[in-house]
Structure formats: C-alpha cells, structure tokens
Amino acid sequence: MADSVFKGNAITIGDDVSTDDIIPGRFAHLRSNLPELATHTLEDRLPGFYERAQPGDILVGGRNFGLGSSREHAPVVIRMAGISAILVRSVARIFYRNAINQGLAVLICDTSGITDGDELEIRLNDGIVVNHRAGEELSCGRMPPLMSNILAAGGLIPYIKEHGTLDSGT
Amino acid sequence: MATITEKILAAHSGRAFVSPGDFANVSVDMVLANDITGPLAIREFRKLGVTRVFNPARVVMVPDHFIPNKDIPSAIQAQDIREFAREQGIVYFEAGRSGIEHVLLPEEGLVGPGHVVIGADSHTCTYGALGAFATGMGSTDIAAAMATGDIWMKVPPTIKLVFHGSLQPWTSGKDLILHAIGDIGIDGALYSAMEFHGEAIQFMDMDGRFTMANMAIEAGAKAGVFEVDATTEEYLATHPQRAGTAPCRRYFTDSNADYSRIIEYDASTIEPVVAFPHLPSNVRPASTAGDVVIDQVVIGSCTNGRLSDLRIAAQILRGRSVHESLRCIIIPGSQRVYRQAVDEGLVHVFLDAGAVVSTPTCGPCLGGYMGILAPGERCLSTTNRNFVGRMGSPQSEVYLSSPAVAAATAIAGRISPPGNTYGESREEISW
C-alpha cells in the first residue's frame, strides 16, 4: 500500500517539461537499464537533478508537465530518483496515467508560490498540500476514487491482481 | 446530443450514453505497442500472471523506432517483441514487411471507423482520421488491455475545429494543424478530443487527415477525430479490414452536441507555416521565417511519411538538387509507401536530387538514429516535435513543417516557402 502522506523538500522546475526533457532521446539505448537511465533524469533541463534529489523529495512543476511521448520510463525514472510525488498546475494526460499506473502520485494545485527547497507535506486524503516554509495550505483536490485506489494499490498491475478486474473502481 | 467520441465510448462501455468527465470501463478493439514500449508492456503483462492475450487478432506489435536494429540493446528489444508475438500469435510485422506503426496499421486494415484503439505510443491518435477513437497510453495500460481487453478512460470533452474555405496551393493538413496548435497552444486541447470539420477538411485527402489527427497530441488532446465521408469510404474500400478485427461502425456528431469549445478558421488565409524551436506551438508563416540556414532536412515519420507527402516532395525536387551545404533524408513511412514511391519514380527523383532515401523507421524523429544532430545544427523536419534535444544534441534546433516547405528548404539551404521560390502551382501537375 502506498502512503497517503508525503513529506519532502520541493525541487522546482518550470512549465512544459516534456518527456524528452525527462529522458533525452540520446539515452534511449539505456531504456532496458533503468538504474543507469535514471541517473540521466532531467539532465538537460535541471542539471544535477539525480544527484540532488533525496528520497521523499517532491518535484514541483508548472503547466502541462510531462507532455510528449507515451514512454512510461518517464515517471519510472523520476520515482527511481527518489521523488515521492509530483505537484503541478496541469499535467499531460498520458504522463498522468503512466505515473498513477506506476504508483507515483501526481497532484494538481497552484504551485506558483512554492519555491525551491520548501518543506512540503501532501495529505492525499484531505486533498491538501502544506507548505511549512510559507505556513500555507494549498488545495490539491481529492483524486477520483479509481485513481486513488490504483495509487493505493501501488499501481495498476497490483491493483488488477488485487481486484481481478478494472470494474470495481469505475 | 452526443459527439462521435461520446458515442464510440458509450458503445464500448455498454452504456446508452456517456458524458465528459465520466469514468468508463471501455472495451478495446486494437491494442498496439512498438519496440520501445512493447518490452515494458510485456514485462508488466507477465506480472499479471496471465498467460494469453485477450484476443491475438486484436493485439499488434510493430518494430519501428530502432528498426532495422540500431545497436545491441535495440536488437534485444526487437527480439523481445518478436518472441512475444510468436508465443502469443498476435499480429506482428517484421522489418521488410513493415513500416512506421501509424502509417502501417491503416494500410493493413487493422483499424477502422468506430473502433477504440489504444497504443503505447503518443501518436496513436492518428487513427481518428478514419473515424476511430484512438489514443496513446503507457506500457502498463497496454499490458492491462492486452490481458483484459478493457481499459479505464475518462470521457473527454470535445473541441470542434472548423476550417472554412479552400486551401492555398501549397497549404496542407500539416499547416492547418500547426496553425491550430500555434493558436490554442500545446495544452490548448488538454484532455479533450479535437473534432475536425469544414470545407477544407471535406476536400482533404486521407493522408492530410492522418497528419492532422496525428498531431492532436501536440495540443495535449486525447484524440483527433474526423467524420467518415466518401473519402474515408474510398480509403477503406482499397484497404479492407483484416480478418478478426472488430466490425466498423460509422458515428456522426449530433447537430445539437455539446462542444466544450468551437474554434473557426478561414483556411484560405493560412499559408505554409513553420514551427520554430522549441515548441510545436511556436508557429509562423514560412514566408516570414527570415534567413534561417538549415543543415539537415528530414521528410518522413508517422506524421508525413505517406505517399502524398513523398509526391509533393518529389514534385518540388524533380530536376533540382539538394543544396550543397545541406543533407536531405527522406524516409518512406512503410514498405508499401516505399514500393509505390519506387514504382512512381519518386525515389529516382530523390536520388537524382542528392537525397538520402532510407528504409522505413522512426529513427531521427525521436533522436534515435539515422540523422542525429550535432551541437549547433539546425534541422527542418516534417516530424511532430521540436523540443530541446529531440533529434540529437541539446544544442541543436528542430523546425517543423510540411513536406512542401521541407523540399523547398532542402533546395534553398534555408527555410523557404515553396510557392515563393518556384512560382509553380500544384494544380498544374497531376499524379
């Protein structure tokens, strides 16, 4: 079961982070070697990201996060880098599905007031993000039941194994 | 009171109707993966503990991204999907009898009107040109669908885009979709279905419609949908549905359907355009590009690798030479397109002009191989994305255009609109 509370420091990144930003095509030959591929996560867009990310950190983006390819390696390597959840203003739909299916939470909220290094706490069940530095609470809404159930199971494959079918969540 | 999208999704979820925002458990008619996304989908499929796919005639794997094998890891991935295909008896196309997935599947009659198609490739939305609901997903969704034949979906709202008027001689479907993306932005249709209408669409051939549906994802859309008409029917008659595929059904949007937005364009005023680095929405008319020297031109891809695309390129390149400081790489989208380009003499035109002609592959579009860019290089490409580093070095630049602008640029060595340079009219030449 996945956690419903995430605490970590913010790593901020701007708008329109594409799947090519997350994994540049030149590393595609590493796609069967996920641990090594993960070391190149966001390398061009946020140099040093992999080294800097600590377990539990929260990646904070702007608009249209994850646009582009359907390659599921994108959320996988972000999670492997230690990121516990992603907070964005808006997210590209294929990335969103892939992240949830891989058990990585993506929440939508107004991220404009979050600065790099802020200490954040996401309370999934309350639909709230607490910014301890700013002393602010942001609403990120509650996830639709199907998605929060998939996330709680740790991803789509464990969810289907648990439920036998997709039906019970719809 | 429903759109094509809502009708297809209702029919596939056993409901009388669905509304935007509803979650539905949707049965799928075709499930697709390629040599990049297939291996991960297979791995997830195995985790489910299922031994057989839900229907082998409705699962297809196409090796196209790094095929013919670029290197050893690519060869292993190709091997993964080949072995899975043999084991499961699913539909599979080997190099030499294959092509770029989104060019290939319609040609092979694997997708048709009224189908729900999901593919582990973001450009799966291409099949909306045939009146299907087709959308890209990731490998885990594809694994689940291969096992169960079902997928969860949130019903998208539909945006209607109307292109009034008739097209200028060199303006193509690529220009219309780039113009629209330039207008609404790369998230202008986020989570929505784009439905294309208008006189310019009615008179557009299927290849142009495939190009437009293909790039719906570049506006963030879940699908790009066209109504079936006489042009679609003619295509379907010459590309019959393969045995074992789902029955086709034609759906039409009701006159009083609820669109989330209606956007109207006067297509007759849209010139050939170019999307500048580093977003597909950074669009301006090719005639106003200024002096942009180009090092490489690529004509091909799931967006513009079809026969009509090659015919237009050949029309401009015939009797002319690729600029001496530039290389031009032309990639037919499928073996069938390649064969026809040979038969029609198009390949001779390209070779005489000094262009590279490659076997079908996605290769350079995603920075895979067959045309990678060095730091500082500029490429004008008929592909679909121009993000930083998309085709090679993060210090390189990618410009997106139609095949006509690409061919004119290949000759001029710098971005060039075709009409201005050669003053010829497309109508003068018939194929």
Res B1: pLDDT:
87
Identify the three-state secondary structure at position B364.
helix
What does the alpha-carbon distance between residue B352 and residue B266 come to, in Å, rounded to a whole number? 38
User: Please, are residues B270 and B297 in contact by the beta-carbon 8 Å criterion?
Assistant: no
Per cent of chain B over pLDDT 90 is 97
What does the alpha-carbon distance between residue B431 and residue B84 come to, in Å, rounded to a whole number? 42
Q: Which domain holds residue B325?
A: 277-428
Please indicate, yes or no, whether residues B339 and B224 belong to a single structural domain of this protein: no
Domain for residue B381, yes or no? yes
Domain for residue B25, yes or no? yes
What does the alpha-carbon distance between residue B291 and residue A110 come to, in Å, rounded to a whole number? 41
**Mutation target among B22, B187, B370 for the A interface, most CBs of A within 10 A:** B187
What's the token pair of residue B218? 């570049």
Q: Kindly list the residues from chain A whose CB atom is less than 8 angstroms away from the CB atom of residue B366.
A: 20, 25, 28, 69
Domain for residue A116, yes or no? yes
Please indicate, yes or no, whether residues B97 and B60 belong to a single structural domain of this protein: yes
Q: What mean pLDDT comes out for the span B98-117?
A: 98
CATH number at residue B367: 3.30.499.10
The residue type found at A50 is Y
Nearest beta carbon to residue A146 from set B152, B190, B394 = B152
Please indicate, yes or no, whether residues B259 and B287 belong to a single structural domain of this protein: no
Q: What mean pLDDT comes out for the span B365-383?
A: 96
Looking at the structure of chain B, the number of domains it has is 2
Res B427: pLDDT:
43
**Mutation target among B64, B76, B122 for the A interface, most CBs of A within 10 A:** B122
Residue carrying the six token digits 């005023």: B269
Is the CB of B147 less than 8 angstroms away from the CB of A98? no
Domain for residue A39, yes or no? yes
Minimal C-alpha gap between B168 and chain A (Å): 30
Res B431: pLDDT:
32
Residues 6+ apart with CB under 8 A from B163: B176, B196, B197, B198, B199, B200, B201, B265, B267
Domain for residue A52, yes or no? yes
Provide the Cα torsion A146, B190, B110, B27; round to 10°: 20
Q: Report yes or no: B199 at the A interface, CB cutoff 8 Å.
A: no
Please indicate, yes or no, whether residues B261 and B329 belong to a single structural domain of this protein: no
The residue type found at B247 is P
Please indicate, yes or no, whether residues B161 and B25 belong to a single structural domain of this protein: yes
Nearest beta carbon to residue B23 from set A28, A101, A146 = A146
Domain for residue A10, yes or no? yes
* pLDDT at A1 > cutoff 50: no
Q: Which domain holds residue A69?
A: 5-163
Please indicate, yes or no, whether residues B126 and B260 belong to a single structural domain of this protein: yes
Q: Report yes or no: A15 at the B interface, CB cutoff 8 Å.
A: no
Which residue of chain A comes nearest to B39, CA vs CA? A32
Res A164: pLDDT:
75
Res B420: pLDDT:
53
Domain for residue A170, yes or no? no
Domain for residue B271, yes or no? no
User: Please, are residues B400 and B381 in contact by the beta-carbon 8 Å criterion?
Assistant: yes
CATH number at residue A88: 3.20.19.10
Q: ipTM of the predicted structure?
A: 0.89
Please indicate, yes or no, whether residues B114 and B255 belong to a single structural domain of this protein: yes
Please indicate, yes or no, whether residues B320 and B228 belong to a single structural domain of this protein: no
DSSP annotation of A46: S
Confidence of residue B428 (pLDDT cuts 50, 70, 90): very low
Domain for residue B76, yes or no? yes
Res B103: pLDDT:
98
**Among B residues 35-94, those touching chain A with beta carbons less than 8 Å apart:** 36-37, 39-40, 44, 47-49, 66, 70-71, 73-74, 76-77
- Which has the closest alpha carbon to B281: B195, B200, B188, B201? B188
Confidence of residue A167 (pLDDT cuts 50, 70, 90): low
Looking at the structure of chain A, the number of domains it has is 1
What does the alpha-carbon distance between residue B265 and residue B164 come to, in Å, rounded to a whole number? 6
Contacts 24+ apart (CB under 8 A), B74-77: B74/A29, B74/B35, B76/A32, B77/A31, B77/A32, B77/B35, B77/B36, B77/B38, B77/B39
Residues 6+ apart with CB under 8 A from B202: B229
